Amino acid sequence: MTQSFTRRCPRCATPAPSEQLYCQRCGGSLEAVASTPTVRSREFAPPQTAPASPTFYNAPTQVATPPVGVPRISGQGEPKQPATAYSPTLPAAALLPQQQQVGRRLKRGIWGLGIAALILVLVLGTAGYFLLHLLGSRSANAGGSTPDATPTQSSIITTSLNETITYSSVIITLVSAQQASRFADDASTSSVGALRLNIHENQAAPLDTGGGTTDPYYGYGKPFNLVLPGGKVIAPDSSKIVSGPTGKASQDNWLDFSVPTEVKVNQLTLRIGDTNQAQMDVPLTANADLSAYQPKVVQLTTRVPYGNTFWTLTTASKQWGDGGQQAGKGQRFIVLALTVENPSSSDVNAFPPDYLRLQVGGNQVAEANDNLPTGFAAGTTSSKGLVAFLVPQESTSFSLVLLGNGTAGASSQATIPFTIP
């Protein structure tokens, strides 16, 4: 006999009698199912698919338990868990407070980041200001006193020297040496201490072909150096005047060196002369022996005829400089003072480099400088001048040679020998 069905399970679409409260297949509740048309057979029941539910949040799962007395279908085991219940999407009005709260938090976060960035900029800017101020102060202290600061002078220890030496036709007197931690008018020296050499310079060296009118063209960076104990050589850090005197001028000058204050003045030596020049070492002690650097001068009266003229060698000097120049390394200047007479009735005109030579050993040396006239008028009784030659420093025996080449009206040469020990 065919059983009559009046409704279907809303979960698995299985037909069920109208009086049945739970589905015999899945155990789902049939109470809320509305009446449906009766069908004859389960086989002909049209399949129904549960409508698609939008995905929202899952409500807690509840398992429906059939009431006592309802038999379970054999072979199906325990009743299955009913379908999960879903809640519809919350309306926009319900989400508004939550969105507003998120917006407030976002705004607070942005304001917080902005304030933090502002604080960071202020901190870095303040630190940078003080750092630049500190570096500027150090730079000012290293490079000299600031315009609004009055430098103070530390205690000075002065040592008298009064030593005289000639360099490049300039007579240099070392007046005194002063020591201090630093000199107020010169911030160029290092912090270890400073030594100042006070000097007087005069371009009026005797027996000089330049006659005091030749510019020596020397500065103080290379030719003036201080030799420290142990042999270390240092250049001056600064000087009051940057170059030597010119045009018969004289000047007072000072040279500053970085020297530790514990080093004594009498332990120091001033080395004058560039590396390619004849150098002179001057000990910084009072009454030092500087005779080796002084000109060696001999007086002569040798007179010889040369053409229509007569030449007399009056003075011969061996020295370290002439004409505003220092002798080269391993060399010396021989400077000769000459007097020329022309008792004839004819003028004599001649260029001194054409006929003047100095015999040194087996070599004849051409002149380096002279201030001789280029002519001797008839009746001349005393025309004077100087001529200089560069020779090896160890040479002692020489001969002045006046070449017999027809110049100055002379057909044969004349010689004047002399010696400078």
Residue 89 has pLDDT above 80, yes or no: no
Please determine, for residue 67, whether its predicted confidence score (pLDDT) is greater than 70: no
Supply angle C-alpha 244, 281, 389, rounded to 5: 65
Shared fold status for 157-292 and 296-419: yes
The mean pLDDT of the chain is 79
- Which residue intervals of 152-287 are DSSP H helices? none
pLDDT of residue 15: 80
Q: With contact defined as beta carbons under 8 Å apart, do 127 and 133 qualify?
A: no
Taking only the tens place, the pLDDT of each residue in 206-218 is 899 988 677 777 8
pLDDT at 393: 97
Q: Is residue 349's pLDDT more than 50? A: yes
Phi, psi of 156 (to 5 degrees): -120, 135
Q: What is the pLDDT of residues 29-41, one digit of tens each?
A: 776 554 444 444 4
Separation of CA 74 from chain center:
101
Which residue's structure tokens are 């005194």? 176
What's the pLDDT score for residue 6?
61
More confident call, 110 vs 399: 399
Rounded to 5°, angle at Cα 201 from 387 and 193: 135
Helix, strand, or coil here: 195? strand
Min mean pLDDT across 51-60, 156-165, 378-387 is at: 51-60
Mean pLDDT of 224-243: 95
* Residue with the larger pLDDT of the pair 52 and 385: 385
Mean pLDDT confidence for 244-269: 93
Mean pLDDT of 96-116: 63
Q: Please give the single-letter amino acid code of residue 299.
A: Q
Q: Which CATH class is domain 157-292?
A: mainly beta
**3-state DSSP helix/strand/coil % of the chain, to nearest 5:** 15, 35, 50
pLDDT at 268 over 80: yes
Of 139-148, 279-288, 348-357, minimum mean pLDDT range: 139-148
When computed from its CA atoms, the radius of gyration of the chain, rounded to whole angstroms, is: 59
- Taking a C-beta distance cutoff of 8 angstroms, is the pair 79, 27 a contact? yes
pLDDT at 150: 57
Q: What six digits make up the tokens of 79?
A: 């009743």
Between 104 and 139, name the one with better pLDDT.
104
Q: CA–CA distance from 175 to each of 144, 247, 292, 364, 407 (Å)?
A: 27, 22, 20, 42, 50
CA distances from 111 to 98, 197, 213 (A): 20, 69, 82
Give CA 261 to chain center in angstroms: 27
Backbone angles phi, psi at 186, to 5 degrees: -155, 110
> Which pLDDT band, with edges at 50, 70 and 90, does 46 fall under?
very low
- Other residues' Cβ atoms within 10 Å of the Cβ of residue 29: 15
**What average pLDDT does this structure show over 144-150?**
47
Chain centre distance of CA 220: 22
3-state secondary structure of 356: strand
Average pLDDT over residues 23-32: 75
User: Does the pLDDT at position 176 exceed 80?
Assistant: yes
Residues written for the chain: 421
How many other CB atoms sit within 10 Å of the CB of residue 183?
A: 21
Contacts of 80 (CB under 8 A, 6+ apart): 26, 27
Phi, psi at 109, each rounded to 5°: -65, -40
**pTM of structure:** 0.63
129: confidence class by pLDDT, cuts 50, 70, 90: low
The span from the CA of 175 to the CA of 38, in Å, is 141
296-419 in CATH: which number? 2.60.40.4170
Classify 207 in phi/psi space as left (phi over 0), alpha (psi -120 to 50) or beta: left
Burial of 117 (0-12, 13-18, 19+ CB in 10 A): exposed
Higher-scoring residue by pLDDT: 373, 31: 373
Give the model's confidence band at 99: pLDDT under 50 very low, under 70 low, under 90 confident, else very high: low
What per-residue confidence (pLDDT) applies to 84?
Answer: 45
Q: Return the sign of the alpha-carbon dihedral for residues 134, 135, 140, 146.
A: negative
Whether residue 255 contacts residue 177, with contact meaning beta carbons closer than 8 Å, is answered with no
- State how far the Cα of 408 lies from the Cα of 149, in Å rounded to an integer: 70
Q: Which of 314, 303, 309 has the alpha carbon at shortest distance from 336?
A: 314
Averaged pLDDT, 62-89: 45
**Among 40-54, 109-123, 309-323, the least confident range:** 40-54
Spell out the domain ranges in the chain: 1-87, 90-143, 157-292, 296-419
Place of tokens 């001057």: 282
3-state secondary structure of 252: strand
Percent of the chain at pLDDT > 70 equals 72
Question: Is residue 117 pLDDT above 80, yes or no?
Answer: no
Cα–Cα distance, 343 to 194 (Å, whole number): 63
3-state secondary structure of 151: coil
Which percentage of the chain shows pLDDT scores above 90? 52
